[in-house]
Structure 1
Amino acid sequence: MNNMPFFGPAGNEDSFFEAGFKDVIEAPAYVASLGLTAYEYQGGHGIRITSKKAAELGKKARENGIRLSVHAPYYISMSSADEEKRNNSIGYIVRSAQAAHDMGADRIVVHCGSCSGKDRQWALETAKDTFKRAVEALDAQGLSDIHICPETMGKLNQLGTADEVIEICNLDERLIPCIDFGHLYARTLGGLATIEDFEAIFKAIKDKLGTERFYTFHSHFSHIEYTEKGGEKRHLTFNDPGYGPDFEIVAELCIKYGCTPVFICESRGTQAQDAVTMKKIYCEKAGEVI
């Protein structure tokens, strides 16, 4: 199928282990067997894969037609008031980018930082400076081919509205937005609901970042439970009732605008199976046969 988005899971779902698989090296064949085309290596608790194993994972991914990306550590703090923490965060980004390079991936996803206890604009400007220095650090290490993807976030005390991520990405063309529709749904307390709500995000990316990043943006998707006080509470599965967002609207807009993003599903324990559902929804909307 031409001009098809990439669909895949964030890490390994419960069924992967229930089927007897144990090693990340087995993941590309597993997700390919489901008809998926992407896989995001989870480095949230640290990049623990060796260069040798990363290269082996990349080889398996290429053999199975799987596009790889890497999620950088959760403890990265781009907006910290502590300069040492910000400098360490740049080091973690370089380590994540090196792992991505070793496995043949070209994107790493990075959280934007917290604004809890800080002036929000100060936190944003601090994060922008840290992202700018991170890009420079990748250049210095010969990793300029790796794109950093600042992610929209789900908690109200986190940086990561769609506008904030777009503003960060305006720093350099190699910064690609990671639009987590579940996070945006949670931080707006379910306010991401109508096609107009979603389309405003699509239009903002196109208008402010240009067509290349618009057509090929990175994306996370899952249903998310939220609270009115804090926003995101927990990730859900597609079978859990009561919460969104609606992927059908996202699929319709991708088809309307010709976008072919990388969609990584972050459902809780069913991320590959739900990624299959996302692909089916897209294909039904596009009138294509899987």
Structure 2
Amino acid sequence: MTAAPHTPVMLPEVLDALQPAPGKTVIDGTFGAGGYARAFLDAGARVIAFDRDPGARRFAEGLAPDRFRLIEARFSEMADEAGDGAVDGVALDLGVSSMQLDEAERGFSFLRDGPLDMRMGREGPTAADLVNTAAQEELARIFFVYGEERQSRRIAAAIARRRALAPFARTLDLAEVVERALGGRRGAKVHPATRAFQGLRIAVNEELAELEAGLAAAERALKSEGRLCVVTFHSLEDRIVKTFLAVRAGRTPSGSRHAPPKPAQAQPSFRLLWGGARGPSQAELSANPRARSAKLRAAVRTAAPVWRAAA
């Protein structure tokens, strides 16, 4: 049975920036439920999709076999799979997918009861492993750095007290402990567990390190004049993308004339399609509240060599 179609966030804006067309090869680095890939295929492009979640394969049913390939791997491996300078576009839609949020058994949601898992793939420690074994100080760091949670120490202390009595195994159990630690909802628009769950998810899946490696892989995989489009959903992701593109486009500060001269940098490997980030349309915000925090950044690959890691 073919899975139901899925419309991803900011699809018209991504299509306009990426410009998929017949004869072009595009990487969908975050296949998910296949919304971007279907749109790229409808535009006539050849699509190489990546997703480390084996559950994503069911959404590939019915896609053009002569122009579509799904690889069960992290998107940071795209250049190894597709080849250096081999593709015309790369699209990344970051964070947890709607598919994963809506499936309680995946353990991403604080609104649906399920096993406390949160793994995008099937390998490595789960969120339950982290919550039950990490030092209280490490949990506080995860909530503060990855979840941007100001009350991180209070939450970590509450978790440590509870797990001494019984380990955590379910999502709603953890969400309730976080909610009590923060004094309940009291009419708050955002659930009290939102930031803590975000921090755990990012830590479990090593998302920020994967993003940094994925951007470098896209630099390798793109042809000259190939296009990179990245949709982010929180400031940590967006800051990494913004910094990467600014540096690769040669837009880093030149420094003070009183300071020692900076070493010569590599030639810009990207040029920005526009300044800053673009957000979703009002029509999309009205139809899909999940799009409210989305930001799109895009750039075009130049003919300059790939930057070395030291650069």
Q: What is the TM-score normalised by the length of structure 1?
A: 0.33
Higher helix share: 1
Q: What is the TM-score normalised by the length of structure 2?
A: 0.31
